[in-house]
Amino acid sequence: MARVFPQLNELELRKLKSRAERNVYDSCAELDSETVVLFSFPWIKLTSFGTRRDGETDFLLFHKTKGVLSIEVKGGGVVFDPATGQWTSTDRHGVENPIRDPFQQALDAKYAFRDFLNADREWKRLGLNPTLGHAVLVPDINSAGAQQLQGSGRQLEIIGCDEDLERFPAWVESVFDFWHNPNDTARTPLGTAGMEFIKRRLCTRIEVKPSLSSVLADEEQERIRLTTDQSRTLLLLRNQKRAAISGGAGTGKTVLALEKAKSLAEAGVNTLLLCYNDPLADHLNEITQDIEHLNAMSFHQLCRFYRDVALTNTGRDFIKESLEFNAGKSKFDVCFPYALDEAIPHVKIQYDAIIIDEAQDFRDDYWMAIDTLLCEDEGKHLYVFFDPNQQLYEKNSYFPITEEPYPLSWNCRNTKIIHDLAYQFYKGDPTESSPIPGEAVEVIAESGLKLQAKKLHLHILNLLNNESVSPGDICVLVPSEKAKDYTPLLKANPLPKGVSWIEGEMGNRKKICIETVRRFKGLEATYIYFWGADAYNREDHPEVLYVTLSRAKSRLCIIGEAEACKSLLDH
């Protein structure tokens, strides 16, 4: 039995407009197993005028030893007027309709397919030159009528009638014999190689996926919609001067904090937007620098800012004094907040609103200075956004807002797959995953940092060169404590022209960011490479893994030893 493509079921066959084509389609199944049949095969032909003309052949037959045959099928009666060169078909009601010359159609299809083959590099490498033939089948006409159709270029041997349809395999073989020239030594059969080529090129399921960059763009649009819906939370709190908003990673806390700060500033309220991490502060400052009445900085940048102003006003360096007074104590956790508290009375800058992101990382000593900045005035605005699961630094016991926090209920950032992986390390109110399914987490499992860096580099090159992913959407996160062991190995690898590695900066569309896990907290990237499976395990570092894995918006790739990667993904 021959293989016929496309494989139509009974319902699909009944929907065919041409009963004649339907009957021929059924008859094709009677051909031997060395035959492949393509039904309704489209083609494009280059004319002698240099223009393109498209067409379609009803049936294209391929036989392993006999060659290729193009068959045009015409149902009903057929009329040819040599005076005008016009062909006409006549249906069972006697209605005539002008048609193209069926023999010319079959001939055009034959040569169009020949041109298609000759333009294919793989076909050229095979070096095959099969017999090409064409024929016309008029299954509603008897043998006497078929004889009347004979003429120049219309030999009886290539005309099939109703009787030929009844003995279809024999008729097809006779047509192949007509076109076969035993003395033509240049001709070669298709053979196994040729038939495999035909099946691969024309009969194999084709699945062309959209580029990754296109998929990522679609996911980002859905993410924006989800975040917009989540931002309606602020409408519920618009009349509250003080509020705490809690939520897991990806619930849009930073976006909401930014929106609240912008809305207050645009209303003329002198607003301070604070966070813990400097990279996040730099990002927030960049996107708010043109907004009046709004300053965005990290807590320690705030300390330096007040130190600088106080130094100008008084000549005293309160950070230096604090370091001396608190000798042996933590520079950032004790000396900086102490210096800020001392500098505030000497700086004539007050805020009517303070919005704090990453509030879970603010130590008790930080809040004392913040309370001073607001003068504990009940008319002042204080909004804190926090995730207790993201306390990578020393935990605090004091929180300035005693009311129950308002919970954010769904993850707007991560795909469901990334959410499910990251949230196995989460403890708190339930957080729904986003409806964006995403793709499976990828793994680069290699022994040793050098091999890992090499494979990671190749993976990134594929994103840039084959998937059209923007360099600015890619970020590599490395262990904070061992960055010097990781980063140089990766940066030693070249990138395509115009693209480079960068540390400590996000948002540059031509640069791929390499950052430490801790410094990247509060930030996000479309494609995250977590090159740290060997440094962090699920038993000892659940908070680090929760924060790190949840930085990835759409795609996540984990790099490390095979066992470490497997352990991380087993959940």
C-alpha 456/C-alpha 464 separation (Å) is 13
- Total domains, the chain: 3
End residue of a domain, out of 144, 179, 202: 202
In this structure, is residue 118 part of a structural domain?
A: yes
Q: What is the pTM of this model?
A: 0.69
In this structure, is residue 504 part of a structural domain?
A: yes
Confidence of residue 437 (pLDDT cuts 50, 70, 90): very high
**3-class SS of residue 248:** coil
Residue 486 forms beta bridges with which residues? none
- Asked whether residue 373 falls in the same domain as residue 474, the answer is no
- Asked whether residue 458 falls in the same domain as residue 403, the answer is no
Q: The tokens of 269 are what?
A: 């309220």
One-character DSSP codes across 187-225: ----HHHHHHHHHHHHSS----PPPHHHHHHHHHHHHHH
- Asked whether residue 500 falls in the same domain as residue 457, the answer is yes
CATH assignment at residue 524? 3.40.50.300
In this structure, is residue 435 part of a structural domain?
A: no
Distance (Å) of CA 52 to CA 70, 162, 194, 362? 20, 35, 27, 70
**3-class SS of residue 454:** helix
- Asked whether residue 402 falls in the same domain as residue 450, the answer is no
pLDDT of residue 391: 54
Q: Average of pLDDT values for 241-265?
A: 92
- Asked whether residue 146 falls in the same domain as residue 197, the answer is yes
pLDDT of residue 374: 79
- Asked whether residue 396 falls in the same domain as residue 463, the answer is no
- Asked whether residue 246 falls in the same domain as residue 320, the answer is yes
- Judged against a pLDDT cut of 50, whether residue 54 lies above it is answered with yes
- Asked whether residue 174 falls in the same domain as residue 250, the answer is no
For residue 278, what are the domain limits?
240-408
Q: What is the pLDDT of residues 465-500, one digit of tens each?
A: 999 999 999 999 999 999 999 999 999 999 999 999
**3-class SS of residue 418:** helix
**Cα Dmax for the chain:** 117
- Asked whether residue 450 falls in the same domain as residue 522, the answer is yes
End residue of a domain, out of 359, 386, 408: 408
Q: How far out from the chain centre does Cα 33 lie?
A: 42
pLDDT, greater one: 402 or 110? 110
Nearest to 280 by CA among 510, 536, 499, 519: 519
pLDDT of residue 393: 45
Give 281-284 contacts, CB < 8 A, sequence gap 24+.
Answer: 282/505, 283/506, 283/507, 283/523, 284/254, 284/258, 284/357
In this structure, is residue 135 part of a structural domain?
A: yes
pLDDT of residue 376: 58
C-alpha 548/C-alpha 246 separation (Å) is 19
C-alpha 272/C-alpha 127 separation (Å) is 74
